[in-house]
Amino acid sequence: MRTSAKFVGLGAAALLVLTACNPSADESDDDATTDNGATSEVTTDISDKPEQTLHVWDQEVRGGQDEQMRLLNEAFMEKYDNITIERNSQSFEDLQTTLRLALSGADAPDVVQANNARSMMGQFVASDQIVCLDDYSEAYGWEDRFGDILAYSSYSDDAATFGEGCVYGLPQVGETVGIYYSQSKLDELGLEYPESWEELEEQLPQIVEAGEVPLVLGNIDKWPAIHVFGAIQGQYEDAENIRTLGFGNPGGEWDTDGNREAAAQMQDWANEGYFNSGVNGEDYDQVWQDFANGEGVYLIAGSWLAADLSVAMGDDVRFALPPSEGPTTTGGTGLPFAVTSAAEDNDVAAAYIDFITSDEAMQILAETGNVPVLNASQFTDSADQVVADVMTAFDELVSDGNIVPYLDWATPTMDQVMGDALQNLLAGRSTPEEFVTTIGDAYNEAQN
């Protein structure tokens, strides 16, 4: 098994526990009752299953993400020598494209990471391409462990309702969008991380006057601007309305003063030169790497960058929630792992998902610089500075703030609609009012 020095202590112990026992359930057969009253037998002990290959597709390609997957996969195969994992790891963008084709083909994988959004998981549910996991949830006790988090991967049978119904996947990590910054750069500028959104607004022109770029963004792929808009929107719009809009359920409203104010501020920031130039033509990964090399002061982005930024910047990089009281920002879970309808053996696929989301797996996730979706605050003492920041922020957001869904989850095409609309907004090709109307029309059309 491949390990690195940082796993010799606590991480090695967690791996030993993982290979020694099933972390979440007794190794037995269970009769689980489904919603319609039917009883089906599921097996949580797969040690006597025939030798087989489990085909897994994931998007854990960055340093700490890839590390934890390799460690957990090796531990799983060590525990179950009758199972060989064949892993296909792709970037988020590539997986979004290839997964649709793969699930409709003859050689579909067994386990996939499926974006929670209606455009991905919702369509897979509606097309019966992924499996309801309620029986396994009962057998493994997922509802007790994950609680409300399961809403982020739950749909009604017809996929009309998002956030309730059957569980279709389990996530490994918690996610939140916040603000990265270099402590030494703020020190050079004589600034401290702002305590309020108004203070952040006051800092931006000061940073420009000092010859620095206040905010950096790479938006050639369109989705990064959705996260920036979400952080701004949380300062102006009611959190409950944002939740309804993000889940794409009935009763939400885009035509509000808060949404228009958020759109206006984002466009104003672009017009005032607070972003790097040419954001719509800049690559997301290149921009965060440039940030790690000293370009820009603030990077509004997701917690998934913490491990790589920590490697590049050490303890100088910090992370915080958007500054406000009881903050509201985009977040939730990473992409859940789901079982496809083409899986060779659902019991094996479900056992794998349970294994990589166990309490011991959460420990490995933390030590590889990721934010465990469960018990994150337990791992801050042993984490690198920025990773500890993210864990603390995630717990704070869940307990004291308002965590709201990714806005592009709302409809099967909202990722493209909102991505295009934000590029137009940033480029000055549309007004804030036109932006809100465009997104509102797409949301309302889906409701009708």
- Taking the C-alpha atoms of residue 176 and residue 231, their distance in angstroms, rounded to an integer, is 10
Q: Quickly list H helices, 2-127.
A: 10-20, 63-79, 92-103, 123-126
- Taking the C-alpha atoms of residue 163 and residue 411, their distance in angstroms, rounded to an integer, is 13
Domain residues for the domain of 266 are: 175-332+387-447
Give a yes or no: residue 378 inside a domain. Answer: no
Residues 410 and 345 in one domain: no
Residues 319 and 398 in one domain: yes
Of 372, 398, 420, which marks where a domain is finished?
372
Res 197: pLDDT: 98
**pLDDT tens digits, residue range 155-190?**
999 999 999 999 999 999 999 999 999 999 999 999
Res 41: pLDDT: 85
Residue 416 tokens read as 């493209």
Res 8: pLDDT: 34
pLDDT by 10s per residue, the chain, length 448: 222 333 334 455 566 556 665 445 555 565 544 343 333 589 999 999 999 999 999 999 988 899 999 999 999 999 999 999 999 999 988 988 899 889 988 899 999 999 998 989 999 999 999 999 999 999 999 999 998 889 999 999 999 999 999 999 999 999 999 999 999 999 999 999 999 999 999 999 999 999 999 999 999 999 999 999 999 999 999 999 999 999 999 999 999 999 999 999 999 999 999 999 999 999 999 999 999 999 999 999 999 999 899 999 999 999 999 999 889 999 989 999 999 999 999 999 999 999 999 999 999 999 888 889 998 888 999 888 999 999 999 988 988 899 999 999 999 899 999 999 999 999 999 999 999 999 999 999 999 8
Residues 15 and 131 in one domain: yes
Give a yes or no: residue 231 inside a domain. Answer: yes
- Taking the C-alpha atoms of residue 381 and residue 238, their distance in angstroms, rounded to an integer, is 34
The CATH number of whichever domain residue 109 belongs to comes to: 3.40.190.10
Residues 144 and 253 in one domain: no
Residues 125 and 80 in one domain: yes
Give a yes or no: residue 380 inside a domain. Answer: no
Residues 314 and 214 in one domain: yes
Res 277: pLDDT: 96
**pLDDT tens digits, residue range 6-63?**
333 445 556 655 666 544 555 556 554 434 333 358 999 999 999 999 999 999 998 8
Cα–Cα nearest to 418, from 254, 183, 251: 254
Give a yes or no: residue 28 inside a domain. Answer: yes
Q: How many domains does the chain have?
A: 2
- Taking the C-alpha atoms of residue 270 and residue 278, their distance in angstroms, rounded to an integer, is 10
Residues 343 and 435 in one domain: no
Residue 156 tokens read as 């009604």
Give a yes or no: residue 379 inside a domain. Answer: no
Residues 11 and 40 in one domain: yes
Give a yes or no: residue 377 inside a domain. Answer: no
Give a yes or no: residue 392 inside a domain. Answer: yes
Residues 194 and 150 in one domain: no
Res 160: pLDDT: 93
Consecutive H or E run containing 53: strand 52-58
Give a yes or no: residue 14 inside a domain. Answer: yes
Residues 286 and 393 in one domain: yes
Tell me the whole-structure pTM to 2 decimals. 0.79
- Taking the C-alpha atoms of residue 391 and residue 376, their distance in angstroms, rounded to an integer, is 5
Res 9: pLDDT: 42
Res 184: pLDDT: 95
Residues 299 and 365 in one domain: no
